[in-house]
Amino acid sequence: MQLAPGAVLVTVPGGRLALRTPDGRFLGVDTAGTDPAALVARLTTDGKGAGDPELDRLAAAFADAGHALPEAPPRPLAGRTVAVLGDADLTEPLARCVRDAGGDVRHTTVAEAATLDPARTAVVWCLDGPVPPGGWDEADRLLPARGTAWLRTHREGRHAWLEPLATAPGDVTSAHIRLRRLAATPAHRELAAYWAGHRTPDETPRHTEASAALTAALLTGDLLAWASGAPLPVRRRLRRLDLADLTVSEHPVLPVPDVAPIERGRSA
């Protein structure tokens, strides 16, 4: 038995015990005459004090209230595979974050990732530059359709774009993001030409170590949300990171429905 993650026992002057919960509340602990130091040892040292009926009763009360666990909980990405593709300045910090959360990192292709267990596989593609024309079309087509999580980020000038997590058919894809952004700007012809590669070389500074770390952390947050059920808000938000000051703005975005075919009238 051990304290739950984030729970801490505090010895208060006068020999009393208090519990600080993970959300910052303090709760008084009634040890019912049991030595507080023995209870602390029982909940912080594996097995110490086990077999003492009163200590076992108090430890069980902590467990019933959710403040203690019989064993360490699994890490949030344990048993899950994250395939990372793209530029190393972004994929390397992301891989470290994924491994720290217990996930298995693979460097593979979209087609190979699509052969893995879709319920336990995510694909993350990181680009320190614009997306090449058609670069994400295959992933858009293959991954959400089979339930494989699909996450991506790219940079345009001094802004990095983190696109919504897609986990199922009908979720927001990169193609949807392009259509929404074109519809939202009067410079849609210029933006389309920029994406198509009709531009001079980009002399904007690339990701720094700080912006890459922040991007990796935000992407890891989306992966943690995926592991816990991928709530709808995570699958409907487009984020823009300003690399100059590391500020992040969020923009709600919806999928773009398929266009209905045009019905041609019959000739007279």
Give residue 257's pLDDT.
87
**Any bridge partners for residue 240, and if so which?**
161, 249
Q: Is the dihedral of CA 88, 128, 137, 240 positive or negative?
A: positive
In terms of DSSP bridges, do strands 247-252 and 149-156 run parallel, antiparallel, or are they unpaired?
A: unpaired
Residue 268 banded pLDDT, cuts 50, 70, 90? very low
**Who has greater pLDDT, 259 or 242?**
242
Q: 165: exposed, middle or buried (C-beta count within 10 Å: 0-12, 13-18, 19+)? A: buried
**Per-residue model confidence as pLDDT tens digits over 65-92:** 999 988 777 899 999 999 999 999 999 9
Give pLDDT, residue 17: 94
| 3-class DSSP state of 170 | coil
What average pLDDT is seen over the chain?
A: 92
**End-to-end Cα spacing for the chain:** 83
| Range list of H helices, the chain | 36-44, 53-64, 88-100, 110-113, 137-146, 174-184, 188-195, 209-227
pLDDT in tens, 125-173: 999 999 999 999 999 999 999 999 999 999 999 999 999 999 999 999 9
* pTM reported for the whole predicted model: 0.84
**Does the pLDDT at position 49 exceed 70?**
no
Separation CA 117–CA 21 (nearest Å): 37
Bridge-based pairing of strands 121-126 and 81-86 is parallel
Tell whether the model's pLDDT for residue 12 goes beyond 70.
yes
Task: Evaluate the CA torsion angle 3, 79, 216, 239 in order and state its sign.
Answer: negative
**240 near 249, Cβ under 8 Å?**
yes
- CA 44/CA 2 separation, integer angstroms: 6
* Distance between CA atoms of residues 247 and 38, nearest Å: 48
Provide, for the chain, the percentages of residues in helix, strand and coil under a 3-state DSSP scheme, each rounded to the nearest 5.
Answer: 35, 20, 45
Place of tokens 């879709």: 118
